[in-house]
Amino acid sequence: MTYTKTARLPVSPDEAFALITQPERLRRWQTVSAVVDLRAGGEYRWTVTPGHVAAGTFREVEPGRRIVFGWGWEGNDDLKPDASTVTVTVEPVEEGSLVTLTHEGLSDEQAAMHAEGWQHYLERLERVATTGDAGPDEWAWTPERLDPVVAADAVLAAIQPMLRSLTAEDRPKQTPCRDFTCHDVAEHLFESLTQLGAMAGTTVANPEEGSLENRISVMAAQAIDAWRAVDLDGTVPGPGGREMPASVGASLLPLELLLHGWDIAQGAGREIRVSDEVVGYVRTLADPVVPGGRARGSFADEVTPAADATPLDRLAAFAGRSPISA
């Protein structure tokens, strides 16, 4: 069965093509993370929502005009990567561009499910092309199945809008971490993501350029993807080369992203919108981790949160942080 949908965008065909192919643009409306090798025979891998990864191979690429790629889902035996075909064309029209998406090779049930998905995301594409910001994706708000890796996806999705709003003027601002500016916290997070990737057996590459949102998103995606392949019932090399439970190592990933995202947001006077369910889950991951880290000097003593503190502020208080306003 075939599904077809169009979207009218008030932007040039080149800009429309960028929105549907460039990772930094895709993260604004369709994906949490995206890896794209945009050439015939090149592969792509998109974390569309936390824990759900679409993947396949580009079959045809006409820059600015058309892409054809295989479509399917990792871990889905009914629709494996490359098992169906998506064609997206971009045409100039008087008011901008007409984007037409055609998805072929689906069963009736798959077509119905994907129709709902494409409807949702093409509406977000129209929104980002019109306003520059599609806003947080409600489909990423509360994942249906939380584990440390899925939680890391959800946290990354939550902090990206805040990171995109930062400017160079925010770099020297003080954060709740003593002696750490927003820039210092970002540099520390780069190191943490590199170390967490190494624990999972991969080398996390720092893009070294682009926006802070791009650098953190790219590095976090590399670390998260590596942890997807780790048996959380096993062990991984921890600090000093000592073996540690893999479940503990994986727990550090969403905890680092959420706490340091909160640090930067506080310093820069921004807000992070994250569901209470995700914060609550990360708090359960923090319970066995933070006390030991406190003993090693990684976390300050727990502080008492305000009576009206949000769940995220309470998690920060458990980790020894107080909001800037306090």
Q: What would the pLDDT profile of 244-266 be if each residue is shown by its tens digit?
A: 999 999 999 999 999 999 999 99
- pLDDT at position 326: 52
Output 58-64 pairs: Cβ under 8 A, ≥24 positions apart: 59/85, 63/17, 64/13, 64/14, 64/17, 64/90
Share of the chain above pLDDT 90, in %: 89
The pLDDT of residue 283 is 97
Which residue would you say has higher pLDDT here, 260 or 241? Answer: 260
When the pLDDT of each residue in the chain is averaged and rounded to a whole number, the result is: 95
Do 113 and 187 lie in a common domain? Answer: no
Q: Is residue 81 assigned to a domain? A: yes
pLDDT tens-digit map of 178-208: 889 999 999 999 999 999 999 999 999 999 8
Tokens representing 25 are 């643009």
Give Cβ neighbours of residue 303 (< 8 Å, ≥ 6 apart): 317, 320, 321, 322
Query: What is the structure's pLDDT at 179?
Result: 86
What's the mean pLDDT in 60-78?
Answer: 97
Same structural domain for residues 93 and 233? no
Do 41 and 104 fall into the same domain?
Answer: yes
**Do 88 and 36 share a structural domain?**
yes
With respect to residue 323, please indicate whether it lies within any of the assigned structural domains.
Answer: no
Whether 68 and 166 share a structural domain? no
Structural domain that includes position 290: 141-318
Same domain, 50 and 96: yes
Encode burial over 242-257: b for 16+ CB neighbours within 10 A, e otherwise. Answer: eeeebbbbbbbbbbbb
In whole angstroms, what is the distance from residue 87 CA to residue 103 CA?
7
* 3-state per-residue secondary structure call for 5-43: EEEEECCCHHHHHHHHHCHHHHCCCCCCEEEECCCCCCE
Q: What is the mean pLDDT of residues 91-110?
A: 96
Residue 287 falls inside a structural domain? yes
Q: What is the mean pLDDT of residues 110-135?
A: 96
Q: Which CATH number characterizes residue 257's domain?
A: 1.20.120
What pairs with residue 91 in β-bridges?
A: 98
Structural domain ending residue among the three candidates 87, 117, 138? 138
pLDDT at 1 (0 to 100):
83
Whether the CB-CB separation of 172 and 183 falls below 8 Å is answered with yes
Burial of 172-190, coded b for 16+ CB within 10 Å and e otherwise, reads ebebbbeebbbbbbbeebb
Are 157 and 304 found together in one domain? yes
Report the predicted TM-score, pTM, of the whole model to 2 decimal places: 0.96
Q: What is the pLDDT of residues 140-149, one digit of tens each?
A: 999 989 999 9
Q: Is residue 325 part of a domain?
A: no
Confidence of residue 296 (pLDDT cuts 50, 70, 90): confident
Residues in CB range of 244: below 8 A, 6 or more apart: 235, 236, 237, 238
> Which pLDDT does position 253 carry in this prediction?
97
Beta carbons within 8 Å of 138's beta carbon, 6+ residues apart: none
Task: Indicate the length of the chain as a whole number.
Answer: 326
Question: What token pair was written down for 229?
Answer: 């392949």
Same domain, 113 and 147: no
Domain check: are 276 and 302 in the same one?
Answer: yes
- CATH number at 134 reads 3.30.530.20
pLDDT average, residue stretch 276-280: 97
Clarify whether residues 199 and 133 are in a common domain: no
Whether 270 contacts 171, CB under 8 Å: no
Last residue of a domain, one of 86, 112, 138: 138
Task: Decide if pLDDT at 33 tops 80.
Answer: yes
For the cut 80, the answer to whether the pLDDT of residue 23 exceeds it is yes
Specify whether 151 is located in the same domain as 239.
yes
55 and 44 in contact (C-beta within 8 Å)? yes
Instruction: Report the domain count for the chain.
Output: 2
Same domain? For 292 and 145 the reply is yes
Domain assignment present for 217:
yes
**Does any domain span residue 324?**
no
Domain end: 122, 138, 154, which one?
138
Mean pLDDT confidence for 148-166: 97
